[in-house]
Structure 1
C-alpha cells in the first residue's frame, strides 16, 4: 500500500491562512483598508453581484478563479491569491498533472498535518527541504554586508526553554563533549547591544533534540539568556553533531523518492530579539562537517561556518570550565528594524522593476498600483 494513500472520508480542510486586516503606519505608501472580515462574512455573503461562472474550461478557469477571488476588499490578499492561482494553474498545465498525482499530493499534505504536533512541525520541515524557508527569510530579513546572515528556524524550536544566567550549562547530556561558547552581540558599527534576548538550542550527542525523546520531562540542550552591558553572553553546552532530520514522516519519504539524503551538518541554533532591532534567526556550523555543502534544508552559508578551538588554562580559570574543553567564539551583528526595512524596500522595488510589474509597496509588501 502506498504510504500516502488516504480515503476521501479522511480528508479535512482547515483554514490555515491569516492575513493582516490592517496596515500599520510606515514610511511606504499608505491606502485605506477594509474592516476585518469574519468567517460569517465569508460563508454567508449573498450570492449577488459576483461574476457568473459557467462553462469553465482549461482556457478560462484561471482568469475566472482570479475574478471571483477579487471580490475581497483586502488588496494584499487579492494580489497574493491571484499570483498563487496563476502559478498553481500554470504548474498543472505545464506538467499535465494527472488525477493520481493530484490525489497523491493532497494525501501527502494531509499526512504532513497529521504527523505534526506542538513539538514537531512537519510543514516547516517541508518548507525547509523545498528551499522556501530560506527564500522567505532572505526576502523579509535582508542583511547588509557587515551583518550576521540568517538561517532556517527548523521544526524543533520550543517556547519552554529555561532562562539561564551567563555561564550556566544548558546541557544535561553526560555523553556530550563539553563546549564553552563565548559570544558578543553588536551593531553594524561595532557597538555592543545590551539586553538582547538570545534563544539557543541544539541536539544532544545522539543527534536528537530533546522533544524527540518520548520520556522528555524537561527541556535540555536549550536555553534563553540575555546579553550584558558589553553585549556579551556565554554558556556551556556540548559540541554539536551531524544528525538526520526526521525521516519517519512524509517529508522523509519525499527525500527518499528524490534520492536526497536527510542529514544536517553539526550546528547550534540562535535567535535574537530586542525591540527596535530586526529579528534574527541564525545558526553557526562547524567547518569540515561531511554535510557542510549538502545540508538537507539549505541552511549553511559561508559566513556562518566556524572553527572550534580548545579552552586554554587562563580561559578555563576565568569561565570555570575544564581546560581542553571545546571553545566556540563568535560575534553576532544585528541591524535595526529601520535598516532592514529600508533595504527590504529597495530590493523589492528593484526586483519588481526587473519583472516589469506595476506595483507599489504598502507596509513593505507589494500590491497592484491601480491609482
Structure 2
C-alpha cells in the first residue's frame, strides 16, 4: 500500500525509494557507535522520526515551525522552570516512560509522573509536622503506612511530599526564596507516617509559554486534577514517585499530563470547623480535611 501526500494521493514508488534511502543512510551512520545502547536508541529515534516525517508528509515550513517551538522552549527554561518536562508531560511521554520503568508487581503502589516542581534538599519535618510553612490553603491531615509487598513495615523510609498552594502555585513559581508546601519525613519503626499538608486543589500547568500555546492550538486544557506529590525511597525497595488524587474532582478524566490512575484516587474527607484533629491541633474556626494513603513498595530489583 503506497503512502499519500494527502488522503487519496499516492506517493510514487520511485519517490518512496528515494525517501527510504535517506533513512538507510542515516541509520548506517550510527553503525560505528561504540556504545550498543546508545546505538540502539539513536537508530530507533532516527527510524521513527523519519517515519513520522514521511507519514504526515511534513512540509519544510512546518518543520521550521517545529524547530522554532523547541527553540522557544529552550529559551524559557531555566533553573526554576523546565518547559521540556512540561512538553514531555502533555505528550504523554512522561507517563509512558513511567509505565515502562515501573512494571506492575503484586499490589505495589502505582507510580505516576514526576512533574517539573520537585526540589532537592526540602526541609525535614517530624511525625505530625506541618509542611505548608505558611502556604495558603485548607489544612489536610495525611496519614498512612509504608510496607513492602509482603506486608512488612518499612521503617525509616524517606517520604518526600510537595504540592501547590490553594492559588495553584508551587513555591518555585513565586520568584523569591520561599520554601513552602514541601518537606520530607521518615516513617517510624512501625512504618507509619503522619503530617499536615494542604487540601489539594486543581491548577493549570504553566501555560504562558510554547507548551501552553500548543495546548491552546489543539483545544486542550492546561488543568491538572487536584493532587499531592510523593516520592518514597528505602533500602532494597524500588523508589516510588507518585501522587494521590481527590475523589470527586471533575478533572480526574482530563488531567493535562495523563497522570491519574484509579488506584491513586483517594477520599479526602472534609471536616467542619470545630471537629477535633487527630493530634489535638487547634485550628480555630477553620475547616480541614483528612486522607489515608497506605504505600506499598516493590522490591528494588523488580
Q: Output the TM-score relative to the length of structure 2.
A: 0.89
Cα 1:283–1:97 shift into 2, 3 Å: same
Query: Aligned to 1:316, what secondary structure does the other structure show?
Result: coil
Residues of 2 paired with 1:310 and 1:190: CA distance?
29
Cα 1:105–1:317 shift into 2, 3 Å: closer
1:327 aligns with 290
1:309 aligns with 269
Q: Output the TM-score relative to the length of structure 1.
A: 0.73
Query: Aligned to 2:242, what secondary structure does the other structure show?
Result: strand
Query: Aligned to 2:160, what secondary structure does the other structure show?
Result: strand
2:194 aligns with 234
2:215 aligns with 255
Q: Do residues 107 (structure 1) and 101 (structure 2) align? A: no
Cα 1:138–1:321 shift into 2, 3 Å: farther
Q: Do residues 198 (structure 1) and 198 (structure 2) align? A: no
User: What stretches of structure 1 of length at least 5 have no aligned partner?
Assistant: 1-55, 341-371
1:86 aligns with 47
Residues of 2 paired with 1:296 and 1:231: CA distance?
33
User: What stretches of structure 2 of length at least 5 have no aligned partner?
Assistant: 1-16
Cα 1:140–1:167 shift into 2, 3 Å: same
Cα 1:92–1:331 shift into 2, 3 Å: same
Query: Aligned to 1:69, what secondary structure does the other structure show?
Result: coil
- Which of 230, 233, 236 is equivalent to 1:270? 230
Displacement after TM superposition at 1:247 (Å) = 0.5
Displacement after TM superposition at 1:82 (Å) = 1.1
Displacement after TM superposition at 1:321 (Å) = 5.2
Q: Do residues 60 (structure 1) and 3 (structure 2) align? A: no
**Total equivalences in the alignment:** 283
Residues of 2 paired with 1:209 and 1:182: CA distance?
22
- Which of 102, 120, 140 is equivalent to 1:179? 140
- Whether the 8 Å contact between 2:135 and 2:165 is mirrored in structure 1 is no
Q: What CA RMSD, in Å, does the superposition of the two structures yield over aligned residues?
A: 1.9
- Which of 199, 204, 213 is equivalent to 2:174? 213
Residues of 1 paired with 2:199 and 2:246: CA distance?
9
- Which of 237, 246, 251 is equivalent to 2:206? 246
